[in-house]
């Protein structure tokens, strides 16, 4: 079962993501801000993190991504950025932060499932 951490400040979006992923053999954990998300990541060591970019508090999604990617204990964790901003510059900022994928809101449940499958460790094995 894939362990997925959703870091998103909007409860409705977290709920929709949870409902989508619960049908996909995923164990879903949630955080409502960047600092809580980073702490959860360090505790849970998720397979995939879904990170909103714009969140309240001292850590936005890009900074959380940078810190996750810099933490050797989280080397296996793949990060997908979730953002309402979808310009080439925004996507490039996500890549520079170390994101493995970038999803522009609104996205469909099928897009989300596809990204999770592509990022999951089992899909990387022959």
Is the peptide bond between 106 and the residue preceding it cis, with omega within 30 degrees of 0? yes
Q: How do the domains of the chain map onto residue ranges?
A: 2-121
Q: Put residue 38 in one of left, alpha, beta given phi > 0 → left and psi -120 to 50 → alpha.
A: alpha
Does the pLDDT of residue 7 top 60, yes or no? Answer: yes
Please state whether beta strands 48-52 and 101-104 pair in parallel, antiparallel, or not at all (unpaired). unpaired
Distance CA 84, CA 23 (A): 25
Count other C-beta atoms under 10 Å from residue 97's C-beta. 22
Count other C-beta atoms under 10 Å from residue 36's C-beta. 16
Mean pLDDT over 52-59 rounds to 92
- H or E element in which residue 4 lies: strand 2-7
Supply the angle between the helices 11-22 and 109-119 in degrees, to the nearest 10.
Answer: 70
Mean pLDDT over 119-126 rounds to 58
Please give the CATH superfamily to which domain 2-121 belongs.
Response regulator (3.40.50.2300)
- pLDDT confidence of residue 13: 94
The closest alpha carbon to 53, from 110, 115, 114, 7, belongs to 7
Helices marked H in the chain? 11-22, 34-44, 61-70, 88-96, 109-119, 121-124
Q: What are 8-43's pLDDT values in tens digits? A: 999 999 999 999 998 888 999 999 999 999 999 999
- pLDDT confidence of residue 24: 87
The predicted model scores a pTM of 0.92
Q: What are 88-114's pLDDT values in tens digits? A: 999 999 999 999 999 999 999 999 999
Q: What whole-number percentage of the chain has pLDDT above 70?
A: 95
Mean predicted lDDT score pLDDT of the chain: 92
């Amino acid at each position: 079962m894939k362990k997925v951490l959703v870091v998103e400040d909007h409860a409705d979006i977290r709920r929709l993501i949870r409902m989508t992923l619960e049908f996909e053999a995923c164990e879903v954990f949630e955080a409502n801000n960047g600092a809580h998300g980073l702490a959860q990541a360090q505790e849970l060591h998720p397979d995939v993190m879904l990170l909103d970019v714009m969140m309240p508090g001292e850590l936005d999604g890009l900074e959380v991504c940078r810190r996750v990617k810099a933490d050797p204990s989280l080397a296996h964790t793949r990060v997908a950025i979730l953002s309402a901003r979808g310009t080439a510059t925004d996507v490039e900022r996500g890549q520079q932060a170390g994101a493995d994928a970038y999803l522009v809101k609104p996205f469909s449940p099928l897009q989300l499932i596809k990204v999770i499958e592509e990022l999951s460790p089992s899909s990387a094995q022959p």
